[in-house]
Chain A
Amino acid sequence: MTIDIYWRIGMEGDHASLRTPRRSNRGHAGGYGPGNIAPAIRDGELDGYGYIDHMAAVAKASESAGFLGGLLPSFPVTDDPWAVAAALARETTTYRFMVAFQPGFLHPVQAARMSASLQRATGGRLVYNIISGGGGPAQLWWGDKVSHDDRYARTSEFLDVLRGVWDGAPYDYDGRFFHTEGAALPPGLAGQPFPEVYFSGSSGAAVQAAGRHSDYYLSWLEPYADLRAKFDGARAHAETFGRTPKFAVRIDIVARHTEEAAWAEIEKGWAFVDRDAANRAAQGDSVGAARIKGWVPETITGYHDLEVQPNMWCGFSLIRGGPAFGLVGSYEQVAERLDELIDLGVDAFILAGNPHLEEAYRVGEEVLPLLGRSRLTAPNSEAALSFSR
């Protein structure tokens, strides 16, 4: 079995590097300054392109750099991943769209219809990232007051109904959150491959819900011991359903030709630490976020304090939005850390870096080819340059 490796698309605009203050000069989320891209400025006017054109570039870069597809995350302030996946479906070839969504905001029969159509449009390249919400102000912004554990119960029902209507036979359901009578996908839409499910959540309720429904149990990067314990718990729970879960980890990467060059990137970004922004982002009832918070010391004398094990740095959320942990090091070191995670039981990765476009090439061309060197001999295969489409 091979390891599925995805790359994230920034759905909120992107910036030219981690070294600068957070100004999104790609797209329109940060206004329009000199050097803006998508739209760019020509003859004193915006040139009519938009951030979707840059996202298309990231998707194409990801597939040609060797990634299987990409995570399209979902936040209140970002473009919506269903819409973006639909837009990019026909201008990509192999790219799998891992659409992130919260089951609470979409009726499962509607989700089944959208999914089936996307499968038809892409030849089965849709993947789900089911998130059940981080609580706090963001959850209320969406208009969702359901409590933490109930959100997972709702997710579980959602996936019951989605699978129930998928094969086209009339389906009745009478749950706490969803009710259907004779619901089904129409014959033209039924019969597509069901998307793989990447399930996010660190709490007991999440593990409960994931056990029945997930193909991959997705976690942010954490220190190895914590990840191992998390995987063990999920594995034990899934066994009670007779299932064997697979594991995926979402990791930010700063890889350079030398370790010093990689840390130099962090050092430059460290000049723009925003602790308040990181704390605001961590509000809510997310157990995953709380676990991460416990790792970030209250008093930090320098960025090196946050290297909690070799090449694993937990300061990312202080210099840009998103998870705290990531890998920092030489191409070889980062590949070795990924190999260690594979040894620990990881079956899939969602990698990311800023700027997403250039870093997709860098990681795809410099890090991924080194995978397996430290743990196994890669299988020989015939060079496949023949090309047909």
Chain B
Amino acid sequence: MTEFLWRLPTQGDGRHAGAATRHRGGFGGPAPVTPATDVRPGRFGPFDDLHQIIDAAELSGLDGVLAPYDPLGEESWIVAGGALRATRHARVIVEFQPAFGTPVYAAKVSATLQQISRGRLSWRIAVETEEADARARGDRVTGDDRYARAAEFLTVARGVWNETPVPGAGFKGTGFEFDGEYFDVIDGGFRGILSGLPFPTVYLSGTSAQALELSARHGDVHVFTETPDGITASVTELRERAAAAGRTVRAGLEIPVIARETEQEAWARAHRQWREVHPEDPSGDLALGDGRWAGFAELGYSQPVGLVGSYEQVAQRLSGYIEAGIESFVLVGHPHIEEVHRTGEHLLHLVDPAGRTLAAQEATA
């Protein structure tokens, strides 16, 4: 069964493409004052909106949510903690960059999150972040060194983690030693309530040789982004590198989607949003000719290329990716609650009927 995750917004949400008119979540400014009685001011915070999106993904049957790393947006660990508490089924993927702290501390925080969620937490490591962001954080590690550090980070985090229960013994570890370029541990290792939990599934991303090599050696899922040239070559390279390392790594794809009842409605939506941000260039003629559209970044998405079409057309394209080896999708669309419902109600069971239709005939009310 294919995994379908939803990318949560980090800087608010709304119906429109322009950031200033996206009022949900407190990033776009307050709603206008009108004659209607308004009891919201002071009583609603950004996480009320965010949690409505998390609820929507959970109720619509998505498999999980991604809390993305965004230095200018909500903090992903805090989002993830709330999301795990607010859901029963959803996997929650927390994205963070490896300089955020020590790997032992990341593992420690994660052990608590695994404990409260019965093992639903995953990690996504953002290795290549923007230079200015890294400098602002005081992170002097650059270029390929970032991949070396990420590899050490994952080695240490897995090293201190004990999936089988180990009795507590004060401050004593379980004998894990590490003397690396970036991290050092002496007699590390989790015991007691920190042990006996599943290690988070590790998602990684990127298209460079270093990125793919890191996944091949340390990752569980490698998440690609669609390009005009497609993803087939990258998926093949990932497979080859993983095989050379004696491992298997699943391929994922993060992609924005505008799906409607008809193809025409979907394109009308894409073009209407385009005109909001580009009133001077209303054509928005960025169609790649096969149901893919290269204008998403302009609408506030973090990926340029996504899918536009009828539910059936978009489902077919997603099925095509599955045939190309994709096992995990991160979908996104805004406004999030509305698009999550479209995805759950109209799309997923077409792409992936296994598990999304009832195995046994239920009584009809």
Chain A residues closer than 8 Å to B56, beta-carbon distance? 57
Per the bound structure, the CA–CA distance linking A366 and B15 in Å amounts to 9
Per the bound structure, the CA–CA distance linking A277 and B83 in Å amounts to 43
Chain B residues closer than 8 Å to A68, beta-carbon distance? 36-37, 39
Chain A residues closer than 8 Å to B32, beta-carbon distance? 369, 378
For residue A36, give the distance in angstroms from its CB to the closest CB of chain B: 8
Per the bound structure, the CA–CA distance linking A54 and B43 in Å amounts to 22
Interface size class of A (residues with CB under 8 A): 35 or more
A254 at the interface (CB under 8 A from B): no
Within 8 A of B (CB), among A19-50: 19, 25, 28-32, 34-35, 37-38, 40-49
- Please determine whether B61 and A2 come into contact, CB atoms closer than 8 angstroms: no
Set A41, A44, A365: member contacting B15, Cβ < 8 A: A365
- Please determine whether B30 and A357 come into contact, CB atoms closer than 8 angstroms: no
- Please determine whether B23 and A2 come into contact, CB atoms closer than 8 angstroms: no
B38 at the interface (CB under 8 A from A): yes
- Please determine whether A45 and B34 come into contact, CB atoms closer than 8 angstroms: no
A218 at the interface (CB under 8 A from B): no
Chain A residues closer than 8 Å to B344, beta-carbon distance? 35, 37, 40
A380 at the interface (CB under 8 A from B): yes
A383 at the interface (CB under 8 A from B): yes
- Please determine whether A371 and B34 come into contact, CB atoms closer than 8 angstroms: yes
Known contacts A47-B61, A388-B42: A2-B355 contact under CB 8 Å? no
Q: Which of B116-124, B230-238, B284-292, B335-343 lines the interface with chain A?
A: B335-343
For residue A299, give the distance in angstroms from its CB to the closest CB of chain B: 31
Set B23, B35, B59: member contacting A365, Cβ < 8 A: B23
- Please determine whether A357 and B15 come into contact, CB atoms closer than 8 angstroms: no
A309 at the interface (CB under 8 A from B): no
Chain A residues closer than 8 Å to B61, beta-carbon distance? 37, 40-42, 47
B137 at the interface (CB under 8 A from A): no
Per the bound structure, the CA–CA distance linking A14 and B26 in Å amounts to 29
Per the bound structure, the CA–CA distance linking A308 and B64 in Å amounts to 48
Set B39, B48, B359: member contacting A44, Cβ < 8 A: B359
- Please determine whether A41 and B357 come into contact, CB atoms closer than 8 angstroms: yes
Set A4, A19, A41, A389: member contacting B45, Cβ < 8 A: A389
- Please determine whether B337 and A61 come into contact, CB atoms closer than 8 angstroms: yes
Per the bound structure, the CA–CA distance linking A370 and B35 in Å amounts to 9
Set B35, B41, B55: member contacting A371, Cβ < 8 A: B35
- Please determine whether B341 and A16 come into contact, CB atoms closer than 8 angstroms: yes
A372 at the interface (CB under 8 A from B): yes
For residue B258, give the distance in angstroms from its CB to the closest CB of chain A: 15
Per the bound structure, the CA–CA distance linking A4 and B345 in Å amounts to 33
B346 at the interface (CB under 8 A from A): yes
A63 at the interface (CB under 8 A from B): yes
B263 at the interface (CB under 8 A from A): no
- Please determine whether B36 and A64 come into contact, CB atoms closer than 8 angstroms: no
Within 8 A of A (CB), among B332-365: 335, 337-338, 341, 344-346, 348-349, 353-360, 362, 364-365
Chain A residues closer than 8 Å to B335, beta-carbon distance? 361
B217 at the interface (CB under 8 A from A): no
For residue B239, give the distance in angstroms from its CB to the closest CB of chain A: 27
Chain B residues closer than 8 Å to A2, beta-carbon distance? 35-38
- Please determine whether B15 and A361 come into contact, CB atoms closer than 8 angstroms: yes
Per the bound structure, the CA–CA distance linking A342 and B24 in Å amounts to 27
Per the bound structure, the CA–CA distance linking A28 and B355 in Å amounts to 19
- Please determine whether B40 and A94 come into contact, CB atoms closer than 8 angstroms: yes
- Please determine whether A37 and B345 come into contact, CB atoms closer than 8 angstroms: yes
* CB-CB nearest in chain A for B56: A57
A93 at the interface (CB under 8 A from B): yes
- Please determine whether A3 and B358 come into contact, CB atoms closer than 8 angstroms: no
Encode A333-363 as 1/0 by CB contact (under 8 A) with B. Answer: 0000000001000000000000101100110
Per the bound structure, the CA–CA distance linking A47 and B49 in Å amounts to 24
Q: Which 6 A-B pairs have the closest CB atoms?
A: A384-B41, A44-B359, A40-B61, A31-B364, A34-B349, A35-B345
Which residues of A are at the interface with B, using a C-beta cutoff of 8 A? 2-5, 16, 19, 25, 28-32, 34-35, 37-38, 40-49, 53-54, 56-57, 60-61, 63-64, 66, 68, 93-94, 257, 342, 355, 357-358, 361-362, 365-366, 368-372, 376, 378-381, 383-389
Which residues of B are at the interface with A, using a C-beta cutoff of 8 A? 1, 14-15, 23-24, 26, 29-45, 48-49, 51-52, 55-56, 58-61, 88-89, 261, 272, 335, 337-338, 341, 344-346, 348-349, 353-360, 362, 364-365
A-B pairs with beta carbons under 8 Å apart, 25 shown: A2-B36, A5-B36, A32-B364, A35-B349, A37-B341, A37-B344, A40-B61, A43-B1, A45-B358, A45-B359, A60-B51, A60-B55, A63-B40, A94-B43, A368-B34, A368-B36, A371-B34, A372-B34, A378-B34, A385-B26, A385-B41, A387-B42, A387-B45, A389-B43, A389-B45
